[in-house]
Chain A
């Protein structure tokens, strides 16, 4: 299965600033997914990112707050913009390859 390198693994950020999370995949994949996990909750799908098209956002998530880039078939970024303490979560990327799903190791974000 694909291998994903997700960076940063954790960060502490000031409110009002932005953080960009990167996911690099070792093979070309069509679909990449971004999730958020708030403490004690399920992983919530933020958006689906396909190369060459705008990301598709789930209900409750908007592009202005979570802009996503997908410049090629092996890379994607998620930016958490104008952060508030409510954005403190773990963010994960995931890809769907020919033999199943692979997940990044997560980015633990704390907003102070």
Chain B
């Protein structure tokens, strides 16, 4: 079975500090895409960062970066210089090309 696990239901971080959200997954696929989405109260799902599984280099998007370890099936999200606007639910997901699999989310609170 293909699964995504986010083991941290809730996290908090001081403004301007760095926080890492963990995500592990299990799949038998060799080619897939990994995503982190941010969900504000509006319930929109904003794409934060994506990683192609065939790429060894970790994706970076401004203050957001990932630590992708394919062998360990781990895909953590690092948020640097946390801002109050980063407060949201964060979902990790992977896409096989046909189907999505999502984690249950991590609620992140940035403390002023």
Contacts of A45 in B (CB 8 A): 42-45
Asked whether, in the complex, the Cβ of B104 is within 8 Å of the Cβ of A108, the reply is: no
Q: Which of A41, A100, A108 has the most CB of B within 10 A?
A: A100
Contacts of A10 in B (CB 8 A): 98
Alpha-carbon distance A101/B91, docked complex (angstroms): 9
Asked whether, in the complex, the Cβ of A43 is within 8 Å of the Cβ of B37, the reply is: yes
User: Taking A45-B42, A101-B105 as contacts, is the C-beta distance between A92 and B100 under 8 angstroms?
Assistant: yes
Residue in B closest to A99 when the chains form the complex, CB atoms: B104
The DSSP consensus for interface residues of chain A is: strand
Q: Is B32 at the interface (CB under 8 A from chain A)?
A: no
Asked whether, in the complex, the Cβ of B47 is within 8 Å of the Cβ of A42, the reply is: yes
Residue in A closest to B106 when the chains form the complex, CB atoms: A100
- Interface readout for A60-97 with B: 1 if CB under 8 Å, 0 if not? 00000000000000000000000000000010100000
Chain A residues bordering chain B, tally (CB within 8 A): 22
Asked whether, in the complex, the Cβ of A106 is within 8 Å of the Cβ of B43, the reply is: no
Contacts of A105 in B (CB 8 A): 99-101
- Tell me the smallest distance from the CB of B42 to a CB of chain A, in Å: 7
Q: Which of B43, B47, B101 has the most CB of A within 10 A?
A: B43
User: Taking A43-B37, A100-B9, A101-B91 as contacts, is the C-beta distance between A48 and B43 under 8 angstroms?
Assistant: yes
- Tell me the smallest distance from the CB of B34 to a CB of chain A, in Å: 14
Asked whether, in the complex, the Cβ of A108 is within 8 Å of the Cβ of B98, the reply is: yes
Q: Is B102 at the interface (CB under 8 A from chain A)?
A: yes
Q: Is B46 at the interface (CB under 8 A from chain A)?
A: yes
User: Taking A101-B89, A101-B91, A101-B104 as contacts, is the C-beta distance between A43 and B98 under 8 angstroms?
Assistant: no
- Interface readout for B86-102 with A: 1 if CB under 8 Å, 0 if not? 00010101010011111
Residue in B closest to A90 when the chains form the complex, CB atoms: B100
Q: Is A102 at the interface (CB under 8 A from chain B)?
A: yes
User: Which 3 interchain pairs have the tightest Cβ spacing?
Assistant: A43-B45, A103-B102, A105-B99
